[in-house]
Structures are given as structure tokens and as C-alpha cells.
Structure 1
Amino acid sequence: MRPPVEKNDDLVVIIESLTNEGQGVARVEGFAVFVVGALAGEEVKAHVIKVQPTYAIAKAVEIIKPSPDRVRPACPVFSQCGGCTLWHLSYPAQLRQKQQFVLDALTRLGGFTSVPMQPIVGMEDPTRYRNKGSFPFSVLGNAAVFGFYAERSHRLVPFSDCLIQDERIVDAARRVAAWANTCGVPVYDETTGEGQLRHVVARTTAEGELMVTVVTKGQLKKKDDLLSFLENCDSVWHNENPKLTNVVFGEKFTLLAGRSALTETIGGKRFSVSPQSFLQVNRVQTQVLYDTAREFLAAKDNETVVDGYCGVGTISLFIAEDCKRVIGIEQVAPAIEDAKANATANGVKNAEFICGNVEDVLPRLFSREGGVDAIVLDPPRKGCEEAALEAIAKSTAKRVVYVSCNPATLARDCKYLAAHGFTLSAVRPVDMFPQTCHVESVVLMEREIT
């Protein structure tokens, strides 16, 4: 059947809802039209830019009847930059929408008819929350500039500030750009492979420390000049990435100045941070997230807990003081070494860490250890492999706490566990990324084992 709209059509539509990517959803003769820049409840004029057999994509060109939740975006490049999607929606409405994303996923995809949803936890100040930023470079005129790519493209949108980043991070990017422009450092062109300066990655800590990593195609030139522009930084690194790739870092890191690692504090625990370390980028909400996981887990001092996808051991160290023993599993070997070092630095003696895929380690672990009491899962966006869920279903665990960054895979995995005897007991979303559509959730599933 031929779609009822064509490319370059101008439509007047009513927006029914928002997708989890922030696009408005309208229907023309039952045919879905996703409208960029529109909000739920609005009447808009939209210009169709793409038509597929089952849907079309359009861009709002006029807001005829605005939503009462629409606000003027504080970010001047919001409509161009691909970094954020919800600056035009008031923050209270963002929170309601994100909670709805989680609820819709659990009901529609998970099949749960009753969801024990708790109120989403938002931020008092939903700006300047990111403690890590990675900015590619490009050329504007004859000047080196940094920014973010436009959505679904590699066209750089330059800016001088980013309102979700710590100000010190953006200032570091400005200083690297000034170094390149003053010293004539050529910017890397990913289409030709020519040039040198590729990215700057900066990270701050709660103690006010700043780490900057400058990524170039080849050997770093003008090093002393760079260090003069980055004076007063606590750690300065160079990364060499000669490959024709979109991946930010190459394999070779060189410490240029300062300390090799910084220290981040979360919930009274101290974590070593190097250029490649993975830690959540919103330290305020990270503590909320981990406190929620700890609250839902409610571990007892005679229990053994498994922490799947443990990373550098953040959740493991949070819950270690509540239980007899915690066993962390992570496939990234350097992260496991960081987890062990973090446990030692924090005086935690009842945590151990195993390197391997969760789906491979869990069956062997359960066979070796016998009984475990509870499991924490914090997987990547793709969720858990079915083999991991199968092992959990066959285990002696009575509680599973699932920390998720993707409502769809959360719903899928909870559906599997529910089909194998677990009950959905609590759901609490946490807004880790204001001004975007991303939402974290913590879920508790329980079962009786006789």
C-alpha cells in the first residue's frame, strides 16, 4: 500500500506522543509520521523530509498550537547539535515523560499489567552535570573549532560552551583550540585522513581536579606550547590515534604532565580515574542510582551477592559493607584491575572480582559456589544475554536488582525473569541525563525459593 504522504509534503498534524528519541508522533490516515522538534499535544506544520514504507520523518516548521510545557531552549545550538533532545521541554515535563518511557516499556514490551512504579528522581539543577566531555575538532574558515556532531551525521556543530558540561571541561576544550590556532596545529580531516588534532577529552572530579587528554593522529608536536595553554591542569595526557576510525582513542597513551590518575569520590568511596576509566558522568545522580540499588538489594550480613557487569567495582564497593561477600564480574580486563585496586584503596576485604563475560562466568560460578542470595545487574544498553538470565533463573538467588540505561531491554529481560518465577517488586527511574531522552532505572525482582 502506498504511503499517504510524500517527500516535501507540508502537513498540519496533531502530535499524539513522543518517541524515546524525542520525536513527536503524528498519524496521517493511520500512517506514522515522526516530527522532529514537536511536543506531545501540539498542533504543528511539518515538512516531510523522508518517507519509508511504514513511516515518514518530518521537521516542524511552525508551531501552530504550542504545548504548555514548551520552553525557550537555553542552549543556542539546540536545534542543530545532536547532543541534547529535550531543551525545548520544561524540566518537570521531561521527568514525567521519562517516567512514562519506562512505564510504557514495561507494560507494552514486558507485558506487565501492574507496575510498582515509584516517582522518578530528578535533579535540583539540571545543568552543568557532566563531569566528562569528548569533543571532536573541525575547521571553520581557517580556525580550529570544537563541538558536537549534528544528529545522525559527522557534520560538526561548533560552539563555545555546552550547558550540560562542567564549565572547566569546556574551558579546557577552548584552551586546546587556542593552542591549535596559535601554533598552527592542523586539524584532522576524517574524509582525507590528513591533519593532526582529532579530539580533546576532559574530566573533572568532585575534588575539583581536571584531567585533559589531547588526541592526535601522530606524534605530538608543540608539546611545550600545549602545556603552557593547559597550565594548572592536574593531569595532561596525549593519545595517538593513527587509524581511519571514528573511535576516539588509539592504543598509545603518554603522560605529559601531572598525575597519571585522579581520584573521584562517590558516596564516601574513592575511585582511581585514568583516561580510559569508565565512571558515570553525573556524579550527583550516580550516588542516587547506587543508593537506590543498595536500598532495593537490602543485603544481609550473612549473604553472598553477585555483581554482574561490575565495571571498576563501584556498585560492588557500595554493597560490600552490607553483605558477607560480593563477587564482581566484568569482561574488560583493565576494569577488573581497577576494581581490585579500588577495593584495596577503600579497605574493602570481602569483594573479589572475576574477568569474563557474565553469561559465561555465572554458570561456572553457581556450580562452584553453590548458593548465592542476590544478584545485581548493570548491563550495557543491549541488556543481558539470554544465557545469563537462564543461569540466574536456575540459581538460588532470591532477589535481582537490575540497573538499566535502556527501558526496552530492561522490559525484555524482566519479562524473561518473570516467566521464570520472579515478581516485579519495585521500579524507580533516575534522571541521569537531563535535557536528553535517556533515562536510567533501578528494578527489584524477587521470588520465593522453597
Structure 2
Amino acid sequence: MIQGEIKKLRISEINNEGEGIIRLGDERFVVFVPDALPEEEVTCRIVRSKKNYATAKVIERHNYSPIRIKPLCPVYGKCGGCQLQHIDYPSQLELKRKTVYDAIKRIGGVPDPCVDGCIPSPSQWGYRNKASIPVQADRRDKFLAGFYKNRSHDIVPFTVCPVLLPKLESNVVSLISDMKDSGFIGWNEKSHHLMDLIRHLVFRTAKFTDQSLCGIVAGRSADGNEIRKLANIAATHSDDLMGMVFNKNISKGNFIWGDEFSTIHGKPVMQERLGKYRFNFEISSFFQINSEQALELYKYASKMAAGEFPGNILELYSGAGTLTAFLSEVGKHVTAVEEWPQASKYLEINAKLNELNNITGHSGSAEDVA
């Protein structure tokens, strides 16, 4: 295929990024077509052509796939946060099952692996308990906050996000407004100007306790006046905001967090409840972003781990000890391993909080400890 060439193609399948796929020439050549679904015939323009694959852009759609639905998000397709909103939920679940099936078959070398269907989430919308919002500054907007466009660092301004918990969505909108009104300036990735400050806003809201925690990630240290303004924003927020944390990250990489954390307001910890267990964690600790589905996942995992006879269980990448608590119900003893210091600390705290006496935590990489 030649770049710029116009082709009429029939989509046969989709990948896990929601792109339509056509396989040509004994399936050795693959064409990827964003926003095209199985059974759709599309006229498209080849925008890139390599030896074994090409990418194309839809010019005209001649019919609609039965699995296509209208995305709920008004900026879907521009924002890079979601890839599957134009696909009905049962088809999303089957796509995820097939992704696991293909990986085990191709990478694991298992000819026909048995992969059960995905267990549906109790909530398809309004479930996400964490939002990480990059912030930039440009000539038109000194505090441009939103999500990145697909495969870029250009920002789509945040207005609404239907996958966030409604309370979290409201918290984010309010925080962005307060930060703008207080005169804060977003980060310029190219210049790193001394006036620039805010790189990310991170907000977490618990589904079952309503507690919230806010993190401000900055590219430099904040001065006294900036700290006072941030503390005032936190103090005027809702009563469920447990605290605001300041994090300094001067690195040029994509990892959000730096090594320096300080508490601006309240305390640096919040609590979520899953079933009969309570879990404390900090702004940077790993915690499943769908609390309702996490509860179902942990129940299922502990049931599978129980087997016929209880024994010792080794859990790697344990985070703040959420799954660990459920595993403690079915194992004689659980050894939990976590590398990230903030999460590892709360693994121990949560074991004590829930009076779990058959857990031992190890701080370090899974490769080294195990």
C-alpha cells in the first residue's frame, strides 16, 4: 500500500485500543483503522505504510457495525483517556477476554487456552475513583488542565468525564476553577520557566466512604505565598477532603510523582471500605480505580486461591494490602511483597487496622524478594 492511497476496506476485527483491523495477503499484512468496527465497510486514506502494516483514516463509512454505540463523553475521540466508548459493553468484555486469550496463545505458546468471559462491572459509568490531570500553560490559557489527546502531550480541557465517580468529577471541576482563580500557572514542558509551577492535579474520592484526597504535583518548590493559597483552596473545599499533599517532581520523564512529599492541609491519608475491611492509603499508593469491581475481584481471587486445602500464599505487587486482606481469609499465612515505599508502609498499617495477624509484608521488588 502507498501513503495517500484511497482504499475501500471491510473491517474484520478490533484490537484492544479500539482500532479496526483488516488482514491482507494470507494475513501477513495488517491495516489499522481508528474508529472502524467489525462488519463496517469504510473508504479510507492510507496515512502510513510500512513493510508489514499500514494505518488509515476513515473518509466515509458505508454501514454501521451492530456493536457501535454513541459515546457518552462529549470529547471522546479527541481525549486519549478512553478507547472503547463507541463499542457496546458486552463487546468490550469479549474484546478483553480475547486480548488475554491471544496473549497466552502467542506469548505463552498455549495452542487453545481456556479463558473464561469477563465478569461485568456493577457500574459501567461513574465508577473511577482517581483522576490524574496534567496541567500546562500556553499563550491562551495559563492554567490548561485536562487529559492528553491520544498519543500526544496536547491537552483536551477538562469539562466532564462520565467514567469518574460523580463526586470526583465535581471535585476536579471545583479544584481546576479554584486554581485558575488563585492565579496558578501550569507547567511548560519545553521552557521550564521559573514562574511555572503545576504539572499535575491528582484527586482521589472513595466510593464507599466519600473521603477524598488531593495531590498537587509541581515542577519546583512552592514559595510561602503559593503554599498559603493552596492551603486556602483546600480549607474551603468539602468536609470530605481529608487533605492536600504537595509533591515536587523536577524530572523530565512521564512518571507523575517525584520523591518529595509534604502535607499542605489536613492529613495525607484517606480511607476506603471494601466489604468488611477498611483500607488507609496515600495519594500515590496503588489502589484499584473501580472500588465496586475491586470488591468482586478480591472475592473471586480469594475463592480461587483457597483450593481444596489452605496453605501459605505469596502475593507479589501487593500495593496497600487490599487483596492481601481477602487472601488472609483462605490462607494459613500470606507473604505480601510491594516495592513502592508509600504503598508498602500502608500494607503494614492496613493489616493492623483490620487485625490481620497472618500477614507478613516485605518492602522491595518482587524479583529480589521472591
Instruction: Report the TM-score, using the length of structure 2 for normalisation.
Output: 0.90
1:120-159 superposed Cα distances (whole Å, 9 cap, x missing partner): 2112431111101100123472352321111111111113
* Aligned equivalent of 1:151: 150
Instruction: Classify 1:303/1:244 alpha carbon distance in 2 versus 1 (closer, same or farther; 3 Å).
Output: closer
CA distance in 2, matches of 1:241, 1:303: 43
Amino acid at match of 2:322: T
Of 269, 273, 283, 1:265 maps to 273
Amino acid at match of 2:11: I
CA distance in 1, matches of 2:149, 2:106: 31
State whether residues 193 and 244 of structure 1, in contact with CA within 8 Å, keep that contact through their aligned partners in structure 2: no
Is 1:9 aligned to residue 5 of structure 2? yes
* Secondary structure class of the residue paired with 1:97: helix
State whether residues 47 and 56 of structure 2, in contact with CA within 8 Å, keep that contact through their aligned partners in structure 1: yes
Instruction: Classify 1:327/1:274 alpha carbon distance in 2 versus 1 (closer, same or farther; 3 Å).
Output: same
* Aligned equivalent of 1:295: 303
Amino acid at match of 2:306: A
* Aligned equivalent of 1:20: 16
Instruction: Classify 1:202/1:305 alpha carbon distance in 2 versus 1 (closer, same or farther; 3 Å).
Output: same
* Aligned equivalent of 2:237: 230
CA distance in 2, matches of 1:287, 1:164: 18
Is 1:219 aligned to residue 226 of structure 2? no
Amino acid at match of 1:198: R
Is 1:331 aligned to residue 339 of structure 2? yes
- Matched residues, number: 358
CA distance in 2, matches of 1:144, 1:361: 43
* Aligned equivalent of 1:186: 185
- Alignment identity in percent? 30
Moved more, 140-149 or 81-90: 140-149
* Aligned equivalent of 2:263: 255
Superposed, 1:273-292 pairs within 5 Å as 273-292=281-300
* Secondary structure class of the residue paired with 2:362: strand
CA distance in 2, matches of 1:335, 1:229: 29
* Secondary structure class of the residue paired with 1:234: strand
* Secondary structure class of the residue paired with 1:118: coil
Instruction: Classify 1:300/1:257 alpha carbon distance in 2 versus 1 (closer, same or farther; 3 Å).
Output: farther
Deviation at 1:299, TM superposition (A): 4.9
Unaligned runs of 5+ in 2: none
Deviation at 1:305, TM superposition (A): 1.7
Deviation at 1:347, TM superposition (A): 0.4
Amino acid at match of 2:276: G
Amino acid at match of 1:42: E
* Aligned equivalent of 2:173: 174
Deviation at 1:269, TM superposition (A): 1.3
Deviation at 1:10, TM superposition (A): 2.0
Of 126, 129, 132, 1:128 maps to 126
* Secondary structure class of the residue paired with 1:193: coil
Deviation at 1:302, TM superposition (A): 5.2
Deviation at 1:33, TM superposition (A): 0.7
CA distance in 2, matches of 1:293, 1:246: 32
State whether residues 176 and 229 of structure 1, in contact with CA within 8 Å, keep that contact through their aligned partners in structure 2: no
State whether residues 130 and 203 of structure 2, in contact with CA within 8 Å, keep that contact through their aligned partners in structure 1: yes
State whether residues 43 and 58 of structure 2, in contact with CA within 8 Å, keep that contact through their aligned partners in structure 1: yes
Amino acid at match of 2:69: V
Deviation at 1:183, TM superposition (A): 2.5
Superposed, 1:301-340 pairs within 5 Å as 303-340=311-348
State whether residues 179 and 229 of structure 1, in contact with CA within 8 Å, keep that contact through their aligned partners in structure 2: no
CA distance in 2, matches of 1:95, 1:133: 23
Deviation at 1:26, TM superposition (A): 1.2
State whether residues 13 and 27 of structure 1, in contact with CA within 8 Å, keep that contact through their aligned partners in structure 2: no
CA distance in 1, matches of 2:141, 2:333: 59
* Secondary structure class of the residue paired with 1:37: coil
State whether residues 207 and 264 of structure 1, in contact with CA within 8 Å, keep that contact through their aligned partners in structure 2: yes
State whether residues 179 and 225 of structure 1, in contact with CA within 8 Å, keep that contact through their aligned partners in structure 2: no
* Aligned equivalent of 2:204: 203
Larger RCO: 1 or 2 (CA < 8 Å, sep 6+):
1
Amino acid at match of 1:207: T
Amino acid at match of 1:120: C
State whether residues 146 and 173 of structure 1, in contact with CA within 8 Å, keep that contact through their aligned partners in structure 2: no
State whether residues 17 and 84 of structure 2, in contact with CA within 8 Å, keep that contact through their aligned partners in structure 1: no
* Secondary structure class of the residue paired with 2:143: strand
Instruction: Report the TM-score, using the length of structure 1 for normalisation.
Output: 0.74
Deviation at 1:28, TM superposition (A): 4.7
CA distance in 1, matches of 2:286, 2:254: 19
Moved more, 23-32 or 36-45: 23-32
Of 41, 57, 70, 1:72 maps to 70
State whether residues 211 and 262 of structure 1, in contact with CA within 8 Å, keep that contact through their aligned partners in structure 2: yes
CA distance in 2, matches of 1:59, 1:230: 45
Amino acid at match of 2:353: A
CA distance in 2, matches of 1:136, 1:242: 15
Instruction: Classify 1:158/1:61 alpha carbon distance in 2 versus 1 (closer, same or farther; 3 Å).
Output: farther
Instruction: Classify 1:223/1:308 alpha carbon distance in 2 versus 1 (closer, same or farther; 3 Å).
Output: closer
State whether residues 265 and 271 of structure 1, in contact with CA within 8 Å, keep that contact through their aligned partners in structure 2: yes
1:329-367 superposed Cα distances (whole Å, 9 cap, x missing partner): 2233443322111111110111112233333333xxxxx
Deviation at 1:190, TM superposition (A): 0.8
